[in-house]
Amino acid sequence: MVRSSSNEVRHAAVGGVFAGLIAGTTLTVMMIVMTLARGTDPWYGVKGAAAPIFGQRAMEAGYDLLPVVLGFAIHLAISVAWAVPFALLVFGLGRALTVVAGAAWGIVVWLGMYYVVLPLVGLGAMVHDAPVSRAVGYHVFFGLAVGIAFLRWQREARALRAAGAV
């Protein structure tokens, strides 16, 4: 989408950071709830992002403070890294289109994470640990959460444009 000023780019990027933090946190909570419902280790998904640093320690069952905290922080950073480009691409769109684009972005994130990022950081085996439908579902959920969390910035974008501030 064409921007009329650097203020719009900055506004979209800030909104993307916010949306990434909200969506990453929401996804983490949802993954914990889903693993508890399946009767499996709820910390596996939280620690997974720390596996390139902690190795097997991050993949062991149970709570481990350092891999949990670092894994969650890395997961949020990755969420922000995916949400900012989304925000820059959709900035200025209407509400419904932003949410639909978020769902589609979730597919892009799934493809990027599973077939590029995870193999690059030595976690390609994680791709085979979860059923594809679950992985796609989690990423579409993430994309929807990004789209919904970004709506606040879409509303402000229209207000800023109407006021001639951007």
The model's pLDDT over 7-22, given as tens digits with 9 standing for 90+, comes to 888 999 999 999 999 9
Q: What is the pLDDT of residue 146?
A: 98
- Domain range for residue 46? 6-163
Residue 20 lies in a domain: yes
Average pLDDT, the chain: 89
Q: What is the pLDDT of residue 161?
A: 61
H helix or E strand, kind and range, residue 31 = helix 6-38
Q: What is the pLDDT of residue 165?
A: 53
Residue 153 lies in a domain: yes
Percent of the chain clearing pLDDT 90 (strictly above): 61
- Asked whether the beta carbons of 147 and 98 are under 8 A apart, the reply is yes
Per the structure, the count of domains in the chain is 1
Show the tokens assigned to 158: 């229209």
Greater pLDDT, 45 or 23: 23
Is the pLDDT confidence value at 166 over 70? no
Is the pLDDT confidence value at 141 over 50? yes
Percent of the chain clearing pLDDT 70 (strictly above): 88
DSSP 70-122: HHHHHHHHHHHHHHHHHHHHHTT--HHHHHHHHHHHHHHHHHHIIIIIHHHTT
- Tell me how far apart the alpha carbons of residues 116 and 16 are, in angstroms, rounded to a whole number: 22
Residue 1 lies in a domain: no
Residue 65 lies in a domain: yes
Residue 106 lies in a domain: yes
User: What pTM was estimated for this model as a whole?
Assistant: 0.86
Residue 135 lies in a domain: yes
